[in-house]
Structure 1
């Protein structure tokens, strides 16, 4: 028996490759399926099954492309309805995989079709459970993301999740390994642990959601303190339910090298100009109107949260990063890339085209300006919970994901000297580029974010009360 976790850190997603006696299965594959095909080829194995734990909301699954490439059967649990051929397993149904087996455990709650897959070894002993978004390390799946009917509330689903955990997960032996679909950073839970796998015994003793003394206390624990989910979640869930175009067809359309002339012609269609370079490079110069979301961070997640799914995208990337940018966008269903600037920003700059830039300032410079500039506005683009925990007294909070609402910038104007910060700098550059795109240009990015600002405790006053811009 061979088990391999294939973890993709930028979206905190874990897929799994399981194999016995030359027969393999993949659980919750990403859309870019090459790693699974290579692994099977290297091990001289055949992928027979693709097990899906549920309709994922945070990424587009690779089940259709992987099935097309291998002939494998796509398996979902009970209560699944799709617009493409799949095998709907019964609760408790067992699938043979070489000398081992995988049993379906229907565990509704996160979604109605959510199911876990219990792996039994050659002797029939419970070895591991692939829990999808039902059980994480240190958390459980959110009950507010399902494409549910009007008859079911978040509390109803949380109650279903409680029953699933109590009846299907908690009775398992303590040494059964828990392999979830996500790790820390995922928005599919609220407090996922840093580890990407655990055991039933450890989770029974340490997972807050499994400590609840009753269904009522469980519902309260898992529904309180949930952040607003990213805007693209229902879009991705729908794509996974209804189907999508192949990644190869997306790449064929997107991997069009555009000369400067062709690039400028594309601009007539009012595309999103997405610059995926490192924020440090972007700050030094960019094509006017560009939005920067750097590949070095949670690129796909922020792209899905901030960019429209109906508008064409043209890319500006580091030379050689064009395909990676397209693939990572496709992971969240942004399939509307229509080309990239050949030669990147350097080609644009060397041709003498107009460029824009954003000014970086250090935290101590902000400290010096703050007492003397009545038009100075500090914009904190961290999440509301981060802001509430501690922020600069004078700062207003506009969470990055709210910048897609034009009304969020209603009180900002070029007569303000706007200083933008986040936690460390990645999100603030995204925010600065988005605000610039709206025609507000008198902005500065605070290098190092709140962490750098906290390095001058004698120059800034911090609080937990909200500051309001008049």
Structure 2
């Protein structure tokens, strides 16, 4: 028996390759399926099953492409309704895999169809459970993702999750390995640990959700403090449920190298966005006007899905050689309207004497010097509301970066405002500054180092919100 976790850091997503006696199963594959095919080929194994724990909301799964190439059936748990060929397993149904077997455990709560897969070894002993978004290391899946048409409240789903955990997960032996679908940084829970594997025993001792003594306590514990899910979650869940174009077909168009002139012409077409994926320090020094910064060195795909409208056509500016990586990451969260990339990168644009824009960076000490003498200063904090509440510049305006595409959110800015933008460390504020410039707000500065640097300034007055003090 062989298990390999294939972890995608920028989405905090774990897919799994399980093999026994030349037969393999893939659990929760990403849209780019080459790693699974290459792994099976290198180990002389045949992929027999494609298991899905649920309709993922935070990425596009590779189930359709992987099944199409290998002929392996796509297996979901009970209560699944899909618009493609799928094997809907019964609760507790067994699937032989070489000398081992995989048992389907229906565990509704995160979604109605959510299921876990219990791997039994050659002797029939419970060995590992692949918990999807039902159980994480240190947390459980968020119960506020009811799909369109489901008349379920967050409390309803949380109650279902409690019953699922009590009846299907807690009775397992303490030494059973726990392999979740996500790790720290994922928006699919609120308290995910940094580890990506654990045991049932460790989770019973350390996971706050498993330590609640009643259903009411559990529902309260897992629903309190939930932030709003990213805006792209329902889009991705719908795509995974209804089907999508092959990744190869998407990339055929996306990986079109555009000359400077062709790129310029396409950028002026209606409903077209330019996405610049370079490092933030390089981006601020010069970029194609109206570009939106989302750097590949951050949680690129998640931020793209949270900010870019899915009906837009996309043009990409990237470091040379990184174009394909950018396109694949965009496709992972459902972007299929990519029109090509700037051949030669930003250097080609600059060398063609095309107009460029830039963002002025300032240090926190410069902000400290300017605040007392400029009555038009607006400190714009683009962190989440919870971060802002825990400490911010006195009289700062809080607009989370994901809200900066909403005209209502930025309508309060005046023409004579001197806007100083910051986040926690600098990545989100660069995104924010580019979004503001795209909406013709140019009188701004980006505070490098963000809140981490600002709070070190003794002469910048800071405060906490009332709710953070209680």
Instruction: Compute the TM-score of the two structures, normalised by the length of structure 1.
Output: 0.98
Q: Which consecutive residues of structure 2, in runs of 5 or more, have no partner in the other structure?
A: none
In structure 2, C-alpha distance between the alignment counterparts of 1:394 and 1:350, rounded to whole Å:
43
In structure 1, C-alpha distance between the alignment counterparts of 2:99 and 2:382, rounded to whole Å:
53
Which residue does the alignment assign to 1:2? 2
Q: Which consecutive residues of structure 1, in runs of 5 or more, have no partner in the other structure?
A: none
Confirm or deny that 1:272 pairs with 2:289.
no
Instruction: Report the alpha carbon displacement of residue 413 of structure 1 after superposing the two structures with TM.
Output: 3.0
In structure 1, C-alpha distance between the alignment counterparts of 2:350 and 2:148, rounded to whole Å:
50
Instruction: Report the alpha carbon displacement of residue 69 of structure 1 after superposing the two structures with TM.
Output: 1.5
Instruction: Report the alpha carbon displacement of residue 182 of structure 1 after superposing the two structures with TM.
Output: 0.4
Q: CA-atom RMSD, angstroms?
A: 0.9
In structure 1, C-alpha distance between the alignment counterparts of 2:268 and 2:449, rounded to whole Å:
36
Which residue does the alignment assign to 2:65? 65
CA-to-partner distance for each residue in 1:202-261, whole Å, 9 max, x for gaps? Answer: 111111111111001111111111101000000000000000000000000111111111
How many residues of Structure 1 are paired with residues of Structure 2 in the alignment?
A: 465
In structure 2, C-alpha distance between the alignment counterparts of 1:267 and 1:65, rounded to whole Å:
31
Instruction: Report the alpha carbon displacement of residue 4 of structure 1 after superposing the two structures with TM.
Output: 0.5
In structure 2, C-alpha distance between the alignment counterparts of 1:119 and 1:290, rounded to whole Å:
48
CA-to-partner distance for each residue in 1:142-178, whole Å, 9 max, x for gaps? Answer: 1101216453211111110000000000000001110
Which residue does the alignment assign to 1:395? 396
Which residue does the alignment assign to 2:215? 215
Retained in 1: the 8 A contact 2:276–2:318? yes
Retained in 2: the 8 A contact 1:413–1:440? no
Confirm or deny that 1:404 pairs with 2:405.
yes
Retained in 2: the 8 A contact 1:136–1:192? yes
CA-to-partner distance for each residue in 1:385-406, whole Å, 9 max, x for gaps? Answer: 1111111113111001111211
Which residue does the alignment assign to 1:346? 347
Which residue does the alignment assign to 1:76? 76
SS at match of 1:35: helix
In structure 2, C-alpha distance between the alignment counterparts of 1:339 and 1:166, rounded to whole Å:
50
Write out aligned runs for 1:422-433 (5 A). Answer: 422-433=423-434
In structure 2, C-alpha distance between the alignment counterparts of 1:314 and 1:82, rounded to whole Å:
32
Which residue does the alignment assign to 1:136? 136
Retained in 1: the 8 A contact 2:15–2:30? yes
In structure 2, C-alpha distance between the alignment counterparts of 1:273 and 1:21, rounded to whole Å:
49
CA-to-partner distance for each residue in 1:265-323, whole Å, 9 max, x for gaps? Answer: 21231310110111111000000000000000010001011101111001111111111
Which residue does the alignment assign to 2:359? 358
Retained in 2: the 8 A contact 1:420–1:446? yes
Confirm or deny that 1:190 pairs with 2:200.
no
Q: Which runs of 4+ in 1 moved over 2 A?
A: 148-151
In structure 2, C-alpha distance between the alignment counterparts of 1:406 and 1:129, rounded to whole Å:
46
In structure 1, C-alpha distance between the alignment counterparts of 2:393 and 2:129, rounded to whole Å:
45
Write out aligned runs for 1:241-260 (5 A). Answer: 241-260=241-260
Which residue does the alignment assign to 2:105? 105
Write out aligned runs for 1:101-250 (5 A). Answer: 101-147=101-147, 149-250=149-250
In structure 1, C-alpha distance between the alignment counterparts of 2:14 and 2:91, rounded to whole Å:
23
Write out aligned runs for 1:441-460 (5 A). Answer: 441-456=442-457, 458-460=458-460
In structure 1, C-alpha distance between the alignment counterparts of 2:333 and 2:459, rounded to whole Å:
42
Cα pair distance change 1:209/1:346, threshold 3 Å: same
Which residue does the alignment assign to 2:20? 20
In structure 1, C-alpha distance between the alignment counterparts of 2:340 and 2:178, rounded to whole Å:
42
Cα pair distance change 1:162/1:148, threshold 3 Å: farther
Which residue does the alignment assign to 1:333? 334
SS at match of 1:155: helix
